[in-house]
């Protein structure tokens, strides 16, 4: 093929695109993406070709125009795509339309799964090996708004959308003074000062929004008006930020309590006040549901105490590790920002099993690990989860004996302490809506114990209380807490630290930290293409036969000691 001869003559050392072509031949073929062609009668460009162009575009951080130009002009790209030298490219808008198609259903995951399958066929991804997962925060492509700015900007965005639907109808129903209130973006307006002025302003905006929603859903409104996404966002934001009191007056909701916990939502609240008034004020919803920007209603606010606060999403990257093969990203999960890491574990294991690349060992940090996760991974997917199980948060209050020091009799439903005292039969209970076993030792046994202060941590004579997990989970927790203190376990776990470098690579080299698009689906497309691009670069840099940098005399001197 003339393209191959010219490409290698022009670049004797090769480029990432050329090496991937030689290593994997055709990374994507059209049979992998049946049904991805346009359905509106336009001449379709090969989905396999567009998929590879998109991956190469992310590998080199090119814009759509630059990528389309590279397809038409660069010899190495033509070689990677299997094109003739005289073959023309395509318009840059095709790439944007292709990403829209990728965002439908699970097509983005399908693209990465096809790539991983090709890598496994080439022997570059080992089945039943080791994998590691880590997550990082991703900033949405929107400004962070406070609640006052949110309602005003949501109102303005809805008016902008309705003006495109039927400008004449909107001009007839909209009061003239709204032009001064919503004519410009909220970032250009000075917000009112003082608590009373702010309440008056937001309640006026709330009344305007309620009036607009009534007009939109009236029979005389255009049919398309009620179907506009911006109008639906307005309705949802008003439900979250306002409420009607007993007199039918629209009111501004209170902010969330900073110490509230989502897992205790709906449970009975302990009342420590002296009066009998247990009225709970109307508050905005939890961060998992609260809309924080009308321009990306799927973005959410989250924070890591003492580290970072952001509005956006979270990206979970799973890569292979260990052995002689390059470390390659085999799975990506994108979640709303407030979702905890632990909620993504089951989806990761299910996807890896479906794609036939499930590891024998999965190295993760403590955010992904609980006894329940370890148990489910072993039973359902035959995966050993390696990660630190959370220690008892109240261990400092009882320095003498930890829960692992007590002997549990699962047949008699009793527990024996290290001093020989046996508890009454335990009682089933719930903790954070999960089944637990409550064990309470008799006061008489604990009062006379010489180790009472070290065990119970109190001076008022109360008995020791334990909260056990169900039997298989409690055994897993005890074993994990014991093993993770050993030197062998720590040496085994050291391999997980490499996941941090993968996060750094995708953030610094491929711009993962900042969303290029809006919405969860399009953001996931970005994360998948970033992962595939990182794999392209790593395949290019992996040279099994290349000599490593020679060791210095000092390194050679320290080498026997290290081994």
Alpha-carbon span 560 to 562, nearest angstrom: 5
Specify the DSSP class assigned to residue 170.
H
Residue of 231, 242, 246, 255 whose CA lies nearest to 207? 242
Q: Which of 60, 79, 66 is nearest to 14 (CA)?
A: 79
For 372, other C-beta atoms within 10 Å of its C-beta total 18
Q: Are 385 and 402 in contact (CB under 8 A)?
A: no
Cα–Cα distance for residue pair 539/550, rounded to 1 Å: 23
Triad 536, 537, 539: Cα angle to 5°: 65
Per-residue CA distances from 250 to 91, 130, 178, 254, 385 (Å): 51, 57, 19, 13, 51
Give the chain's length: 563
Q: Which H or E run contains 385?
A: strand 384-386
> CATH topology for 304-390+487-534?
Nucleotidyltransferase; domain 5 (3.30.420)
Domain ranges of the chain: 1-35+44-103, 147-256, 304-390+487-534, 395-474
- pTM here is 0.89
For β-strands 427-431 and 242-244, DSSP reports them as unpaired
Instruction: Return the SS3 of 104.
Output: coil
- C-alpha 172/C-alpha 167 separation (Å) is 9
SS3 string, 181-221, reads HHCCCHHHCCCCCCHHHHHHHHHHHHHHHHHHHHHHCCCCC
33 contact partners, CB below 8 Å, separation of at least 6: 47, 48, 51, 107, 110, 111, 114
Q: How confident is the prediction along the chain (563 residues), in pLDDT tens digits per residue?
A: 688 888 888 888 889 999 999 888 888 988 888 777 777 666 678 899 999 999 999 999 999 999 999 999 999 999 999 989 888 889 999 999 999 999 998 999 999 999 999 999 999 998 899 999 999 999 999 999 999 999 999 999 999 999 999 999 999 999 988 988 898 888 887 888 888 999 999 999 999 999 999 999 998 899 999 999 999 999 999 999 999 988 989 999 988 775 555 555 555 544 444 444 455 678 888 888 999 999 999 999 999 887 889 999 999 999 999 878 899 999 999 999 999 999 999 999 999 999 999 999 999 999 999 999 999 999 999 999 999 998 877 666 666 678 888 899 999 999 999 888 899 999 999 988 889 999 999 888 888 888 877 776 665 667 888 889 999 999 999 999 989 999 999 999 999 999 999 999 999 999 999 999 999 999 999 999 999 999 999 999 887 766 567 778 887 777 665 55
């Amino acid at each position: 093929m003339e393209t191959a001869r010219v490409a290698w003559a022009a670049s004797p050392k090769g480029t990432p695109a050329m090496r991937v072509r030689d290593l994997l031949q055709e990374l994507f073929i059209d049979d992998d993406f049946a049904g991805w062609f346009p359905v509106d009668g336009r001449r379709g460009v090969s989905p396999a070709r567009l998929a590879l162009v998109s991956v190469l575009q992310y590998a080199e951080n090119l814009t759509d125009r630059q990528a389309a130009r590279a397809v038409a002009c660069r010899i190495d790209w033509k070689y990677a795509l299997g094109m003739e030298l005289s073959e023309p490219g395509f318009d840059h808008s095709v790439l944007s339309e292709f990403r829209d198609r990728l965002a439908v259903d699970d097509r983005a995951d399908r693209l990465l799964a096809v790539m991983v399958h090709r890598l496994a066929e080439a022997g570059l991804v080992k089945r039943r090996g080791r994998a590691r997962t880590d997550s990082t925060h991703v900033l949405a492509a929107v400004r962070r708004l406070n609640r006052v700015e949110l309602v005003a900007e949501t109102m303005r965005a809805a008016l902008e959308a309705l003006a495109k639907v039927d400008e004449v109808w909107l001009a007839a129903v909209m009061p003239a003074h709204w032009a001064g209130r919503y004519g410009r973006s909220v970032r250009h307006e000075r917000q009112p000062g003082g608590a009373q002025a702010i309440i008056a302003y937001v309640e006026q905006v709330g009344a305007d929004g309620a009036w607009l929603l009534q007009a939109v859903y009236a029979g005389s409104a255009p049919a398309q008006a009620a179907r506009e996404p911006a109008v639906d966002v307005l309705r949802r934001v008003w439900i979250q930020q306002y409420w009607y009191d007993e007199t039918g007056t629209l009111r501004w909701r209170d902010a969330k309590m900073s110490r509230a916990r989502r897992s205790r939502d709906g449970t009975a609240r302990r009342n420590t006040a002296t009066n009998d008034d247990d009225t709970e004020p109307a508050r905005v919803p939890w961060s998992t549901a609260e809309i924080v920007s009308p321009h990306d209603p799927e973005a959410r606010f989250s924070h890591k105490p003492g580290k970072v606060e952001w509005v956006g999403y979270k990206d979970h990257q799973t890569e292979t590790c260990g052995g002689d093969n390059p470390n390659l990203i085999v799975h990506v999960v994108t979640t709303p920002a407030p979702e905890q890491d632990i909620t993504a574990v089951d989806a990761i294991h299910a996807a890896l099993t479906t794609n036939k690349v499930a590891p024998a060992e999965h190295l993760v940090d403590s955010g992904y690990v609980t006894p329940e996760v370890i148990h489910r991974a072993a039973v359902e997917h035959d995966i050993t989860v390696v990660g630190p199980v959370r220690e008892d948060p109240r261990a400092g209050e009882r320095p003498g004996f930890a829960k692992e020091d007590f002997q549990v009799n699962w047949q008699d439903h009793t527990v024996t302490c290290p001093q020989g005292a046996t508890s009454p039969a335990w009682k089933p209970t719930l903790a954070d809506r999960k089944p637990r076993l409550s064990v309470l030792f008799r006061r008489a046994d604990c009062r006379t114990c010489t180790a009472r202060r070290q065990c119970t941590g109190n001076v008022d004579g109360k008995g020791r209380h334990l909260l056990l997990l169900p039997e298989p989970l409690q055994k897993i927790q005890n074993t994990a807490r014991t093993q993770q203190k050993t030197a062998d376990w720590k040496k085994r776990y050291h391999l997980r630290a490499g996941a941090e470098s993968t996060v750094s690579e995708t953030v610094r080299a491929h711009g993962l930290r900042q969303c290029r698009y809006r919405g969860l689906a399009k953001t996931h497309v970005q994360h998948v293409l970033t992962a595939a691009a990182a794999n392209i670069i790593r395949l290019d840099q992996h040279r099994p036969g290349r000599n490593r940098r020679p060791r210095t005399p000092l390194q050679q001197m320290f080498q026997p000691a290290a081994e």
